[in-house]
């Protein structure tokens, strides 16, 4: 089990924690991972509207390794300004 997976496992003391961090608060869990693991970078899938933490070529969210499920761009490289403003308003600063 990777260090990331061990860290994520500690959040599962609540029965609905996956729901919280996959339905509206995914940015905040990715932010937690990026704060805890300095090598992580914030990644975003614009089609799925989902944030994850990227570690090298692997992606993690509250459910664990989701590399095979998403097609992401690093958040810092997301260049659709209008969409970025909407995401910040509706998903980050909700």
Residue range of the domain that includes 77: 3-92
Q: What is the pTM of this model?
A: 0.85
- pLDDT, position 23: 84
CB atoms within 10 A of CB 36: 12
Tell me the per-residue pLDDT of 4-59, one tens digit each, with 9 for 90 and over. 888 888 777 777 888 888 888 899 999 999 999 999 999 999 999 999 999 999 99
Contacts 24+ apart (CB under 8 A), 1-10: 2/65, 3/37, 4/33, 4/37, 4/53, 4/55, 4/58, 4/60, 4/65, 5/60, 5/64, 5/65, 7/33, 7/36, 7/37, 8/33, 8/60, 8/62, 8/63, 8/64
Number of domains in the chain: 1
- What pLDDT does 52 receive? 98
């Amino acid at each position: 089990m990777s260090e990331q997976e061990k860290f994520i496992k500690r959040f599962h003391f609540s029965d609905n924690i996956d729901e919280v961090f996959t339905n509206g608060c995914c940015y905040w869990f990715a932010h937690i991972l990026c704060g805890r693991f300095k090598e992580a970078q914030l990644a975003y899938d614009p089609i799925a509207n989902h944030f994850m933490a990227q570690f090298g070529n692997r992606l993690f969210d509250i459910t664990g390794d989701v590399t095979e499920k998403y097609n992401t761009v690093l958040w810092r490289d997301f260049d659709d300004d209008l969409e970025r403003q909407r995401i910040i308003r509706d998903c980050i600063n909700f």
